[in-house]
Amino acid sequence: MSLLEKTLSEIKPLDKEAIEKAWERLDNLTKPIGSLGRLEEVAAQMAGITGKVHNSINKKNIVIMCADNGVIEEGYSSNPQNITEIVTNNFTKDITGVYVLAEMVNSGMTIIDIGVNADFNNKKIINKKIAYGTKNMAKESAMTKEQLIQAIEVGIDTIDKLAIEKVDLLGTGEMGVGNTTTSAAILTVLSGLSIELTVGKGSGLTEEQFKQKKKVIEKSIEINSPIKEDILDVMSKVGGFDIAGLCGCFLGAAKNRIPIVIDGFIASTAALCAYRLCKYTRDFMIPSHLSKEPGARYIMEELNLEPYLNLEMRLGEGSGCPLAFNVVEAALTVINKMGTFEQASLDKNDYVDIREDELCNEENHSGNSKELFFDKPENAISNVNIKVYKSERLLELYEGDKLIRRFKIALGTNAIGDKEKEGDKKTPEGEYYICTRNYKSKYTLSLGISYPNIKDAQNGLNEKLIDKSTFNDISQAINNKKRPPWNTTLGGEIMIHGGGNSKDWTWGCIALSDEDIRIIWDYVPNGTSISIYH
């Protein structure tokens, strides 16, 4: 068994019990419940990674993969190839962006020559050279499949060694003239998006150079015909050694259960490649900032991650990682050091939980967020529909009349009977459809159900829970297949989401395991019909 195969077999999901315990503590700290927002999410994620509620960061390290790309032979780049060699050397001095920022947060750096077209006489640069740069992908495959696996395993081995050294927070960086080209090529193949959406100007190009860069990417994809369903085929044909090495870093971090920060566009591309090899790797990733490169946001959507910062950075090198290190340490300081309601002599019941199941903004995230940015969900099926059997705690997924999958679910704590009004903790019964998708839910992923429907609204009108105007608003939304108003006395925000276990615990939502909601997410677009039975 190769190191890559062994690593993939050893990656496990987050510790769900530790996450639940972390949220229990966070919800009992002396503050309005949920008021520290995404800092609380980081603290809970860290618990899931380590299996402990209380964690500390004792040793940080940013791994920088450096390599040249043969594609710059096409002459579009504003930088000569030897910039890779010069900057790689400069990483060992206190003059680069990543060096000074890493020093600021007391982080180490591991600089890897994985494919620079030069030799170094510098003990601070680790020689793991696969070749002196890749081949020109506009003429042939960038590398062989064997070279690709070797490069991925360099990343895995690097993290394995850092784990032995007790590094407990990792960052990712890179250097290589032409690597925004390879990253955009990989994204274009995997997403099916137009190069007008995936390709940026990198370190700076004239309009003419920019046009040429896009043509080079189109030519590279046409010549190599990478198979989008085979991530190793895509990476070997239009990728780079630096991307492959960083992909290995993400895999190694997940195997060793170490949180790993994503830097910019190139590191994001490597993260996407790792995710395509093993979906559990996503759970160990921390997105630092949203790169200015246009393709970055599409990758974040595919990974269901939201960067913590948006500073319009596009330097690369790993420069965003030190900033995110501070976010992680702030989150751990909160969960470790803040006092509880009991310690502060406060009554928790005097506080309202101010969190919402952070719904996607309807204007910006309407429809299937994956379908907006990628051709279709990976496992898309036609004529999909959902049936929920409350009394059996089952959700069934169908293609037409054919049963595809069956899932165990948890419901509202007052599950018997149909939902009638806000706060009754009942799961509705009737005919609905999926009306929203939230890729940044507190409960992993969530799909909004179109409750209340017209029947629910009519019952509410008859019982004088709503007025005629509200009834009309609900009816109009349902007739147009939109999200109905969720701020009425009938209640709303009924979701299918993750976080499920064997007990009913929701306020009326349908909860699946985190693994199962990821499967559902890949099958179900907006508009999918859902029938909920007693």
497 is catalytic: yes
User: Beta partners for 399?
Assistant: 384, 402
Torsion over CA of 285, 515, 251 and 335, rounded to 10 degrees? Answer: 40
317 is catalytic: yes
- Exposure of 166 by Cβ count < 10 A (0-12 exposed, 13-18 middle, 19+ buried)? exposed
Token pair 């959507």 is at which residue?
A: 301
Nearest Cα residue to 327 out of 103, 171, 197, 214: 171
Cβ–Cβ < 8 Å for 359, 436: yes
Distant-in-sequence, close-in-space partners of 24: CB < 8 Å, separation ≥ 6: none
329 is catalytic: no
Contacts of the segment 198-206: beta carbons below 8 A, 24+ positions apart: 198/294, 198/295, 198/298, 199/294, 199/295, 200/265, 200/292, 200/293, 200/294, 200/295, 200/314, 202/77, 202/293, 202/314, 203/78, 203/79, 203/177, 204/78, 205/76, 205/77, 205/78, 206/78
Name the 3-class secondary structure at 208: helix
133 vs 488: CA distance, rounded Å: 61
Output Rg (C-alpha) for the chain, integer angstroms.
25
Cβ–Cβ < 8 Å for 134, 224: no
Catalytic member of 317, 321, 365, 435? 317
User: Beta partners for 170?
Assistant: 61, 260
At position 467, the amino acid (one-letter code) is D
Buried b (16+ CB within 10 A) or exposed e, 420-446: bbbebbbbbbbebbbbbbbbbbbbbbb
Catalytic member of 153, 174, 435, 497? 497
Which two three-digit tokens encode residue 341? 């309601």
DSSP letter (8 states) at residue 359? P
Distant-in-sequence, close-in-space partners of 7: CB < 8 Å, separation ≥ 6: 156, 251, 252, 255
Nearest Cα residue to 112 out of 153, 60, 71: 153
The 10 Å Cβ neighbour count of residue 204 is 11
Token pair 């290995």 is at which residue?
A: 248
The catalytic residue positions are 317, 497, 509
